[in-house]
């Protein structure tokens, strides 16, 4: 199986719903995220950002959101599922300039495929160096809650490590059983994060918070996603079009 086929398999293994894995097209059409917020996330991923998604209750969609966003990764970045501690240790021995995205299905204490806990978590965060990145999700509704889980025993991950996670999104189940990405945060370069987008409950719209970084640079990503939403939602088709986009832009 080629790299793209292996990556698709890793993304599909995140699917806990049954049926096909939902793509960013599905989430935009459902109103879970809008084009501009997704474009901001896509640009961050293109720039090498690591990714965390969070929601406190199970079934809120954090794994689905994680998989949909991983579908926006540039081609040529191998997805490596962390299914045992040795994968992290081996990754730390590899050259940091080799592109790779290490995927933990969840930072949680359950004994399921791709879950990590305890001393593996700070080691997992240490993978973020050079062109190596990480992606995972955990049971947290807010940045404060997420930070508290990672810094407290038994994880004891340093705040500087969390500060290297370029992109953090929280998803909630709201009125009527709808799912909405309620906030998007980006690393601010000072071992912390700043909020960039927020969902407004009254208008059911996504709004920017403060000043966007290089808003003009979002244009190609927004235009691409607007066109993407008009096409087929299946993950394999989305990945093909995403790959074509990156090749054109380069």
pLDDT of residue 17: 75
Sign of CA dihedral 62, 63, 65, 66: positive
Strand arrangement, sheet containing 51-54 = 79-81, 100-103, 132-138, 51-54, 167-173, 179-187, 193-200, 205-208
pLDDT of residue 55: 98
Check if the beta carbon of residue 101 is closer than 8 Å to that of residue 131.
no
- Matching residue, tokens 């509704």: 141
Give the residue-averaged pLDDT of 202-224.
Answer: 94
The fraction of the chain above a pLDDT of 90, given in percent, is 90
Q: How far is CA 3 from CA 6, 9, 61, 249, in A?
A: 5, 10, 26, 21
Q: Tens of pLDDT along 142-198?
A: 999 999 999 999 999 988 889 999 999 999 999 999 999 999 999 997 769 999 999
Question: Can you give the pTM of this predicted structure?
Answer: 0.97
Residue 144 neighbours by CB under 8 Å, 6+ apart: none
DSSP 160: H
Q: What residue ranges define each of the domains in the chain, with the CATH number in brackets?
A: 3-249 (3.40.50.300)
Compute how many other C-beta atoms are within 10 angstroms of the C-beta atom of residue 25. 23
pLDDT of residue 134: 98
Check if the beta carbon of residue 150 is closer than 8 Å to that of residue 132.
no
């Amino acid at each position: 199986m080629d790299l793209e086929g292996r990556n698709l398999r890793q993304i599909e293994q995140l699917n806990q719903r049954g049926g096909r894995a939902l793509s960013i097209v599905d989430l935009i059409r459902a109103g879970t995220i809008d084009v501009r917020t997704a474009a901001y996330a896509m640009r961050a991923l293109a720039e090498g950002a690591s990714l965390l998604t969070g929601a406190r209750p199970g079934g809120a969609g954090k794994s689905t959101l994680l998989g949909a966003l991983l579908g926006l990764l540039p081609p040529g970045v191998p997805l490596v599922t962390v299914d045992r501690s040795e994968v992290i240790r081996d990754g730390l021995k590899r050259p940091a300039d080799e592109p790779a995205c290490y995927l933990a299905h969840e930072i949680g204490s359950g004994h399921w495929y791709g879950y990590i806990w305890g001393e593996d978590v700070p080691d997992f965060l240490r993978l973020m160096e050079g062109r190596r990145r990480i992606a995972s999700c955990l049971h947290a509704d807010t940045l404060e809650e997420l930070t508290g889980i990672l810094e407290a025993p038994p994880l004891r991950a340093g705040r500087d490590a969390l500060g290297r996670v370029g992109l953090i999104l929280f998803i909630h189940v709201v009125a009527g059983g709808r799912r909405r990405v309620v906030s998007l945060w980006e690393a601010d370069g000072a071992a912390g994060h700043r909020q960039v987008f927020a969902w407004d409950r009254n208008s059911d719209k996504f709004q920017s918070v403060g000043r966007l970084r290089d808003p003009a640079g979002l244009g190609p990503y927004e235009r691409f996603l607007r066109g993407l939403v008009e096409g087929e939602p299946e993950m394999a088709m989305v990945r093909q079009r995403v790959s074509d986009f990156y090749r054109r832009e380069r």
